[in-house]
Amino acid sequence: MNESLSPFALRPREAAKALGVSERTLWTWTRQRAIPHVRRGKTILYPVDMLRRWLAEQTKPAAEEAKASGGEP
């Protein structure tokens, strides 16, 4: 694979590492359908663009809560 190309999706181990969480945490989120993923047969993939959007959405409530309490995010 050409190293200059970015992947469209990550396998579970790669996704967990990219998010900075354990594989067990990633599996829990996946089972709970809390994180975007695609399942094709036994293969589970985490689309990179969807993960970026999901992560950005996760930070919004924390930032809004900090503003409401007068603190910094």
pLDDT reported for residue 6? 79
Sign of the dihedral through C-alpha 46, 14, 53, 28: positive
Residue 63's CB: how many other CB atoms inside 10 A?
11
Among residues of the chain, what percentage have pLDDT more than 90? Answer: 68
Mean of pLDDT values over 13-30: 97
46-60 per-position pLDDT tens digit: 999 999 999 999 888
CATH architecture, range 9-68: Orthogonal Bundle (1.10)
Indicate the domain borders of the chain. 9-68
Mean pLDDT of the chain: 88
